[in-house]
Chains A and B, each alone.
Chain A
Amino acid sequence: MQQETTLTKVASHAPSVAEPAAEHAEHHVDHLKMASFTYNIENSKMAMWLFLASEMFLFSVLIIAYIIARYAHPEEHAQLNVPLTSINTFILLLSSFSVVWALSGVQMGNQTRLLRGLAGVIVLGSIFFLLMMYEYSELSHHGITLAHPFGMAFYALTGLHGAHVLIGLVWAIYVFNRAFNGVYTKESYWGVEFWGLYWHFVDVVWIFIFTVVYLL
């Protein structure tokens, strides 16, 4: 904000000097404004990655806790539904592709591709979440509940991931609404990019959850 105030002052003084000098001043102000936008976007991007890093801490610790519980209770682990989760993994990978498809759409100024990509994520993410709920109900019928040490480690890890998917879905609907209203353009799309980073992060975490929880 401080920088923007200074810029306004420079701009207001520009007409009082000679014409070439005024042009130079205007060019300088434009350059400063551009640098200011770059600075803001770079800061926001850095903040987003710091947030994702903090999430990495959380999930890493929960994955380690799960590994300890899993080797202590191998019989419960055998009840996990690997075929269903494999389908869910393909669905989530496809949703990540849908994100970059939407992003490349807005980068090329293709609004239809942007909207289709976002709609694809909402549909695929919802299917993932519903299948996860079905898996939970199936497991609870087999006696794997929060009261069991294995269940506690399993639900803490996969449940937190599911909560992230849900938040990502709500965020996706918000982004879709803004895209539908034409907020994002070829020159301005960081709202899509930052939400995309979050969704891909959820995918990266799932890649490890699928391997560590279901396959190992």
Chain B
Amino acid sequence: MAEPKQLTSGSAHAEPHSARHATPGTYVAVLGALAVLTLIELIVVYLPFLGQILLLVIATAKAWLVLQFYMHLRYERKILTWIFLMPAIAVGILTAIMQFFVR
């Protein structure tokens, strides 16, 4: 079964390839950044202070890199970013509210 012809996101007019997606060089750079950040995480575990906050910041940065460059959110409409982030924000707010009732 043949697939429908791929067109530029949100527009019927063709754009240069590099304007829509990251280049292979960017993909390699992101992989390098992800590997380095993971190594930093493994070192940060042994820090006596601020370790937990730093770990969460690094994990968020890694996830952001994957979302932006590998999942191409950087090149998509902003609504898709909000659709994806909304559940995490909602669960965060609900958890914070829950703390008042638990304590």
| Prevailing SS type, chain B contact patch | helix
Q: Select from chain A the residue with minimum beta-carbon distance to B27.
A: A100
| 0 or 1 for each of A14-43: is its CB under 8 Å from B? (1 = yes) | 000000000000000001001101101110
A157 to chain B, nearest CB (A): 14
Say yes or no for B103: interface residue by CB 8 A criterion: no
Say yes or no for A104: interface residue by CB 8 A criterion: yes
| 0 or 1 for each of B6-34: is its CB under 8 Å from A? (1 = yes) | 11111110000100011110011011001
Say yes or no for A45: interface residue by CB 8 A criterion: yes
The answer to whether B6 touches A207 (Cβ under 8 A) is no
B102 to chain A, nearest CB (A): 9
Say yes or no for A81: interface residue by CB 8 A criterion: no
Partner of B2, one of A94, A101, A183, A201: A183
Partner of A200, one of B10, B71, B76: B71
- Tell me the bound Cα distance from A49 to B55 in angstroms: 27
The answer to whether A53 touches B87 (Cβ under 8 A) is yes
Say yes or no for A126: interface residue by CB 8 A criterion: no
The answer to whether A31 touches B12 (Cβ under 8 A) is yes
Q: Which residues of B contact A82 (CB under 8 A)?
A: 45
Q: Select from chain A the residue with minimum beta-carbon distance to B79.
A: A46
Known A56-B87, A93-B35, A100-B27: A188·B6 in contact at CB below 8 Å: yes
A161 to chain B, nearest CB (A): 14
B6 to chain A, nearest CB (A): 5
Partner of B42, one of A64, A86, A103: A86
The answer to whether A211 touches B55 (Cβ under 8 A) is yes
The answer to whether A93 touches B4 (Cβ under 8 A) is no
- Tell me the bound Cα distance from A107 to B24 in angstroms: 11
| 0 or 1 for each of A34-74: is its CB under 8 Å from B? (1 = yes) | 11011011100110011011101100110010000000000
Known A96-B70, A107-B17: A90·B38 in contact at CB below 8 Å: yes
Known A49-B83, A89-B38, A204-B66: A188·B91 in contact at CB below 8 Å: no
- Tell me the bound Cα distance from A34 to B63 in angstroms: 34
Q: Which residues of A contact B80 (CB under 8 A)?
A: 45-46, 49
B12 to chain A, nearest CB (A): 5
Q: Which residues of A contact B70 (CB under 8 A)?
A: 96-97, 99-100, 196, 200, 203
Point out residues on B near A: beta carbons under 8 Å.
Answer: 1-12, 17, 21-24, 27-28, 30-31, 34-35, 38, 41-42, 45, 52, 55-56, 58-59, 62-63, 66-67, 69-71, 76, 80, 83-84, 86-88, 90-92, 95
Q: A187-B6, A204-B66 are in contact. List 11 more A-B contacts (CB 8 A).
A: A38-B8, A40-B4, A90-B38, A96-B31, A97-B28, A100-B22, A101-B24, A103-B21, A190-B3, A200-B70, A208-B59
Point out residues on A near B: beta carbons under 8 Å.
Answer: 31, 34-35, 37-38, 40-42, 45-46, 49-50, 52-54, 56-57, 60-61, 64, 82, 86, 89-90, 93-94, 96-97, 99-101, 103-104, 107, 183-184, 187-191, 196-197, 200-201, 203-204, 207-208, 210-212, 215-216
